[in-house]
Chains A and B, each alone.
Chain A
Amino acid sequence: MWVSKLRYETVIGLEVHVELKTKAKLWCGCSTQFGAEPNTQVCPVCLGLPGGLPVLNRKAVELALTTGLALNCVLTADCRFDRKHYFYPDLPKGYQITQFYHPIGREGWLEVEFADGPRRVRIKEIHLEEEAGRTYHLPAGQDGGAASLLDYNRSGIPLLEIVTAPELSSPAEARLFLEELKAVLECLEVSDAKMEEGSFRCDANLSVRRPGEALGKRVELKNLNSFRALEAALAYEEERQRELLAQGEPLRHEEVRAWDEEKGITVYMREKERVADYRYFPEPEVPPLAIPAAWVQTLRRRLPELPMEKRRRYLEVYQLAAADAALLSRRKAEAAFFEATLRYYRGSAQNVANWILGELTRIMKEAKQSVADLRFSAEDLAALLQLQDQKVISGKIAKAVLEEMFRTGNKPAAIIEEHGWQQISDPGTIKTLVRETLAANPAAVEDYLGGKEKAFAFFVGDVMRKSKGRVNPELLNTILRAELGNYTAAGHSGGQGGHEAG
């Protein structure tokens, strides 16, 4: 039976809700700051008190338009809103102001690098709407019966819903798409896009079918609070539906299921057979906002380089390794630091990428800091790498210098100077150190001459210890070999002056 299951196709579509990064809410001047005391960022408008009126925040429209441009959407000529009616305590007006008849953007696409190469995923539409408040259900406890608490701080925060066509064919693809989308939104700076704070949320629709057949009944998955949860829930659901199909019991109704993180399963919530009638009609209190071509052109000009474009450039111009190009292109601040460093640095771009994605990322993560917190400049990093390239310091020392730069913000040259960390590259000095070591360890020299290669490492270690790691390792190797060669050539005549004898 499992063999036949392999022939099933999985079809996934995503609905992503993104809180737009505006200072004020969509219809009033209340703050959108996350984490405030409940019901402290509210007014007659976002509380839905009788007589409150919605005044459109143009900044939210601008962020939605910017997103639409980045997602290659056809933008609406005038921004209109509709009312969507349903009753719920955290929906203060009894309706949500959204865009049903005229979404702000339609027919877009986002290119994503999948396992089998890049592909465009179509975006059906993006539309602007308002957030509802939040309901907290308290179970019955010592204090009394069950209760519901309502916080309207979130009510009226601008939300952009992004709906994909059902074109993703596996849980992994869904995750890659969502990661790429998040990177785009972060790059545009239109949203914090934090899943953990709820400013970036995703519902997924999944169905399975035999190739060539019509789309099967789909299941809508909720409670996907992380990328991992999205992928795991989809994988579970995909397997569950394949199993059902294989048993000849395909889904009869569309349904909504919730991901249970702890149990690792999806749980039935409700049937979607009866489509709710939301009684949409044009919002009578918000006049249409004309979107002049000049406004769109200005926003288009301001569009930053998007992650996918950046990745291409990193591959073509800098010849970065594919994985590094992908990683760096999605981290806007790191990418900017990378390019800034390259303006001062004459070595390989890959070396800079290695340092930023490797050592620097590690240090920042440990200190829970980001590029914005760095106390040294890209020019400083370039100088550090230059010093390493010029063999003024070794790679090991360079790491120590970077830690110091991170801690103090001091220039690399000053740090090296202060600690006396310059690399010893003078052959004469190295030769002296080598001879001291060989002279002090005649037994080891005997071993080496007797064929024990291990002794060589011992000599290197000893010299390094004496010099606190500052000796140029390549030079040390060469000189050490030469000195030991002298011993061989001169027979067992002793260390000193051996080379003169040669």
Chain B
Amino acid sequence: MVIGKMDVGALRKALDRREISAVELTTYYLDRIAQLDPELNAFITVPRAEALRMAAAADRRIAAQEGVTALTGIPVAIKDNICTAGIRTTCGSRLLADFIPIYDATVVAKLKQAGAVLLGKTNLDEFAMGSATQYSFYGPTRNPWDRDRVAGGSSGGSAVAVAAGMAPLALGTDTGGSIRQPAAFCGVWGLKPTYGRVSRYGLVPYAPSFDQIGPLARNARDLFLLFRALAGHDPLDPTSLPAPAETGGDLSGSIRGLRVGLPREFFGAGLDAELKERVLTVAQVLAEAGCVLVELSLPSVAYALPAYYLLAYAEASSSMARYDGVRFGNRSGAEQGIVGMMTATRQGFGPEVKRRVLLGTYFLSADCYEEYYRPAQKVRAWLRQDFAAAYRRCDLLLTPTTAAPAFRFADEAGDERALALTEQCTVAANLTGDPALSFPCGRINHLPVGAQLIGPAGAEELLIRVAAVYAEKAPDDAMPEWTAPDVGEQIEV
């Protein structure tokens, strides 16, 4: 039995049959983290003792056969901008280096209730502001497929933890593509659920009208399983959607006759030619499986990126206002009086956070509000209308997740345009609030790439079901190995 090769369903069976204990399983992952993470830097905090305690509790539950769920005893990595009571939550920031929340985020409480094991807190760009997990105070996360390349971001730590087999499942957060883009760069599955489908209570906000927590996993079933454990109405989240009457299917329905839209704005100049081929191959496979391909246009998408920057940075400047050193987190300049202390404390933000706070502050200033903020809101409304119209012509949309595979660390600063193209594919779904899924669709040279499915609100199951059909029928070389190569030996148990 090679744990690293088992999906969550197989792990469940092994746990239930007592072929392996949750403590053994957790120990396996903790050891693997100890072995690989010094180089990959996917984790900021690994509360080893705490994880083993939770695993032991899960073992007792399994032994007593009481309240065992699909996730009981299964380790899950959690992005470090999601609050965990008693376990420090840094948000990748120096300001929160010693911040230990007094409460669990709703998703964490749900995982604990299900008996999952909190394996560790994963690396991210400071406060999730970035697309490469290189703006973390705790150092950059490296791509396991090529250590000179970025993991993507901001949920780079979670994507790498799953891709390198350091965790079977992980939670990420997605504000402009922060789950999907690193999932694509690392060859794993990542879902941004419909805005409001998963509670944000306890998620440290970056741009709260965009932020959404979602799952990362190695295949469709694992992803769906974790999504179902997270989704649901939460009275503590004012933007939480009412619970759907039906929790959603089981990925088994037919996809025959489904209309798959190919919006031409996502396939234009700037898209890597080989990547374009890969995504069109996905379309081909789906057509062969009975889907109807629909070419269409979404003209609003051309304005999505500037609107996203304006609105998200404006919200970011507001979200960051509470870090003044008064009540929690690091405090500097306490001897300089109140204003001096607040100023000195806020000097502790990293360069990317400072840049976004400055820009966002400018966008919200009285002189700029009408010129920038209002038009951006109008673009957002237009995107929603544009997508709603598209959903009358098709059931879901197929696009690339990024414009190219993961870039080298050195590239990023010099190629803002490539980065912008990358984000252009993902931000639209954050502006509309629609669910969007990234799944692996092959490799370019040695680097994985991803395709994206976007659907109307509540279409998570449909998106995963369609991608699962592709994964099943895809050419052999299209799906990555169970994990990235060269990331340590597999231990047989």
Which of B95-103, B110-118, B260-268, B293-301 has 4 or more CB atoms under 8 Å from chain A? B95-103
In the complex, A93 has a CB within 8 A of chain B: yes
Which B75-120 residues have C-beta < 8 A from chain A? 82-83, 89, 91, 96, 99, 101-103, 105
Asked whether A285 and B321 contact (CB < 8 A) given A53-B237, A54-B238, A277-B366, the answer is: no
In the complex, B208 has a CB within 8 A of chain A: yes
Asked whether A48 and B238 contact (CB < 8 A) given A281-B369, A284-B209, the answer is: no
Which A53-99 residues have C-beta < 8 A from chain B? 53-56, 83, 85, 87, 89, 92-95
Q: Determine whether the beta carbon of A94 is less than 8 Å from that of B83.
A: no
Which residues of B sit under 8 angstroms from A148, Cβ to Cβ? 338
Q: Determine whether the beta carbon of A94 is less than 8 Å from that of B328.
A: no
C-alpha spacing A48/B237, complex, angstroms: 15
Asked whether A48 and B318 contact (CB < 8 A) given A89-B338, A277-B365, the answer is: no
C-alpha spacing A284/B195, complex, angstroms: 12
Which A199-222 residues have C-beta < 8 A from chain B? none
Which B197-252 residues have C-beta < 8 A from chain A? 200-205, 207-209, 235-239
Chain B nearest CB from A71 CB (Å) reads 28
Asked whether A93 and B321 contact (CB < 8 A) given A54-B238, A279-B365, A281-B373, the answer is: yes
Q: Determine whether the beta carbon of B236 is less than 8 Å from that of A50.
A: no
In the complex, A49 has a CB within 8 A of chain B: yes
Chain A nearest CB from B46 CB (Å) reads 21
Which B164-210 residues have C-beta < 8 A from chain A? 200-205, 207-209
Q: Determine whether the beta carbon of B200 is less than 8 Å from that of A53.
A: yes
Interface size class on chain A is 20 to 34
Asked whether A286 and B238 contact (CB < 8 A) given A279-B364, A279-B365, the answer is: yes
In the complex, A117 has a CB within 8 A of chain B: no
Which residues of A sit under 8 angstroms from B389, Cβ to Cβ? none
In the complex, B326 has a CB within 8 A of chain A: yes
Chain B nearest CB from A306 CB (Å) reads 34
Chain B nearest CB from A475 CB (Å) reads 75
Q: Determine whether the beta carbon of B101 is less than 8 Å from that of A83.
A: no
Chain A nearest CB from B90 CB (Å) reads 11
Asked whether A44 and B208 contact (CB < 8 A) given A94-B324, A150-B326, A279-B364, the answer is: no
Chain A nearest CB from B150 CB (Å) reads 26
C-alpha spacing A94/B329, complex, angstroms: 15
CB closest chain-A residue, reference B329:
A50
Q: Determine whether the beta carbon of A55 is less than 8 Å from that of B235.
A: yes
Which A442-478 residues have C-beta < 8 A from chain B? none
Per-residue CB contact flags for chain A residues 252-282 toward chain B (1 = under 8 Å, else 0) read: 0000000000000000000000000101110
CB closest chain-A residue, reference B367:
A277
Q: Determine whether the beta carbon of A50 is less than 8 Å from that of B102.
A: no
Q: Determine whether the beta carbon of B369 is less than 8 Å from that of A87.
A: no
Q: Determine whether the beta carbon of A50 is less than 8 Å from that of B365.
A: no
Asked whether A281 and B314 contact (CB < 8 A) given A53-B238, A89-B338, the answer is: yes
Q: Determine whether the beta carbon of A50 is less than 8 Å from that of B83.
A: yes
Chain B nearest CB from A93 CB (Å) reads 5
Q: Determine whether the beta carbon of B105 is less than 8 Å from that of A51.
A: yes
Which residues of B sit under 8 angstroms from A190, Cβ to Cβ? none
The A-B contact count (CB < 8 A) is 99
Chain B nearest CB from A467 CB (Å) reads 73
Which residues of A sit under 8 angstroms from B236, Cβ to Cβ? 53, 55
In the complex, B361 has a CB within 8 A of chain A: yes
C-alpha spacing A8/B96, complex, angstroms: 58
Q: Determine whether the beta carbon of B321 is less than 8 Å from that of A50.
A: no
CB closest chain-B residue, reference A85:
B321
In the complex, A47 has a CB within 8 A of chain B: yes
In the complex, A287 has a CB within 8 A of chain B: yes
> Among the listed B83, B91, B320, B327, which residue makes an inter-chain contact with A48, where contact means beta carbons less than 8 Å apart?
B327
In the complex, B315 has a CB within 8 A of chain A: yes
Which residues of A sit under 8 angstroms from B99, Cβ to Cβ? 50
> Among the listed A50, A55, A85, A281, which residue makes an inter-chain contact with B238, where contact means beta carbons less than 8 Å apart?
A55
Which residues of A sit under 8 angstroms from B56, Cβ to Cβ? none
In the complex, B322 has a CB within 8 A of chain A: yes
Q: Determine whether the beta carbon of A47 is less than 8 Å from that of B83.
A: no
CB closest chain-B residue, reference A48:
B322
Q: Determine whether the beta carbon of B322 is less than 8 Å from that of A92.
A: yes
Q: Determine whether the beta carbon of B321 is less than 8 Å from that of A51.
A: no
CB closest chain-B residue, reference A289:
B238
Which residues of B sit under 8 angstroms from A48, Cβ to Cβ? 322, 327
In the complex, B342 has a CB within 8 A of chain A: yes
Which residues of A sit under 8 angstroms from B209, Cβ to Cβ? 284-285
Which residues of B sit under 8 angstroms from A44, Cβ to Cβ? 101-103
C-alpha spacing A89/B323, complex, angstroms: 11
Asked whether A51 and B338 contact (CB < 8 A) given A83-B318, A281-B373, the answer is: no
Which residues of A sit under 8 angstroms from B105, Cβ to Cβ? 51
Q: Determine whether the beta carbon of B324 is less than 8 Å from that of A87.
A: yes
C-alpha spacing A56/B240, complex, angstroms: 13
Which A91-122 residues have C-beta < 8 A from chain B? 92-95
Which residues of B sit under 8 angstroms from A50, Cβ to Cβ? 83, 89, 91, 96, 99, 101, 204-205, 322, 328
Chain A nearest CB from B357 CB (Å) reads 11
C-alpha spacing A92/B327, complex, angstroms: 8
CB closest chain-B residue, reference A47:
B327
C-alpha spacing A150/B326, complex, angstroms: 9
Asked whether A51 and B101 contact (CB < 8 A) given A85-B321, A93-B322, the answer is: yes
CB closest chain-A residue, reference B377:
A282
Q: Determine whether the beta carbon of B208 is less than 8 Å from that of A285.
A: yes
CB closest chain-A residue, reference B209:
A284
Which residues of B sit under 8 angstroms from A85, Cβ to Cβ? 318, 321, 364
> Among the listed B239, B342, B364, which residue makes an inter-chain contact with A87, where contact means beta carbons less than 8 Å apart?
B342
Which B352-376 residues have C-beta < 8 A from chain A? 361, 364-366, 369, 373
Which residues of A sit under 8 angstroms from B366, Cβ to Cβ? 277, 279
Which B311-344 residues have C-beta < 8 A from chain A? 314-315, 317-318, 320-324, 326-328, 338-339, 342
Asked whether A281 and B364 contact (CB < 8 A) given A44-B103, A51-B202, the answer is: yes
Which residues of B sit under 8 angstroms from A47, Cβ to Cβ? 327
Asked whether A287 and B239 contact (CB < 8 A) given A87-B342, A281-B318, A281-B364, the answer is: yes
Residue with the greatest number of chain B CB neighbours at <10 A, chosen from A49, A52, A83, A279: A279
Which residues of A sit under 8 angstroms from B373, Cβ to Cβ? 281
Which residues of A sit under 8 angstroms from B103, Cβ to Cβ? 44, 49, 51
Q: Determine whether the beta carbon of A51 is less than 8 Å from that of B204.
A: yes
Chain A nearest CB from B78 CB (Å) reads 13
Asked whether A285 and B239 contact (CB < 8 A) given A87-B324, A87-B342, the answer is: yes
Per-residue CB contact flags for chain B residues 434-456 toward chain A (1 = under 8 Å, else 0) read: 00000000000000000000000
CB closest chain-A residue, reference B89:
A50
Asked whether A51 and B238 contact (CB < 8 A) given A93-B322, A94-B321, A281-B318, the answer is: no
Q: Determine whether the beta carbon of A56 is less than 8 Å from that of B321.
A: no
C-alpha spacing A287/B209, complex, angstroms: 10
CB closest chain-B residue, reference A150:
B326
Which residues of A sit under 8 angstroms from B369, Cβ to Cβ? 280-281
C-alpha spacing A148/B105, complex, angstroms: 31
Asked whether A49 and B321 contact (CB < 8 A) given A281-B373, A285-B238, A285-B239, the answer is: no
Asked whether A49 and B364 contact (CB < 8 A) given A95-B321, A148-B338, the answer is: no
Q: Determine whether the beta carbon of A51 is less than 8 Å from that of B365.
A: no
C-alpha spacing A279/B65, complex, angstroms: 55
C-alpha spacing A47/B366, complex, angstroms: 28
Q: Determine whether the beta carbon of B322 is less than 8 Å from that of A94.
A: yes
Q: 26 pairs across A/B with beta carbons < 8 Å?
A: A44-B102, A44-B103, A47-B327, A49-B102, A50-B99, A50-B101, A50-B205, A51-B82, A51-B83, A51-B101, A51-B200, A51-B203, A51-B205, A55-B235, A55-B236, A83-B318, A92-B322, A92-B326, A92-B327, A93-B321, A94-B322, A279-B317, A279-B318, A280-B369, A281-B373, A285-B205
Using A50-B91, A285-B205 as known contacts, list a sample of 12 further A-B pairs with CB atoms less than 8 Å apart, ordered by residue number in A: A44-B101, A47-B327, A48-B322, A53-B239, A54-B238, A87-B342, A89-B326, A92-B327, A279-B366, A284-B315, A285-B208, A286-B238
- What is A's interface to B at a CB cutoff of 8 Å? 44, 47-56, 83, 85, 87, 89, 92-95, 148, 150, 277, 279-281, 284-287
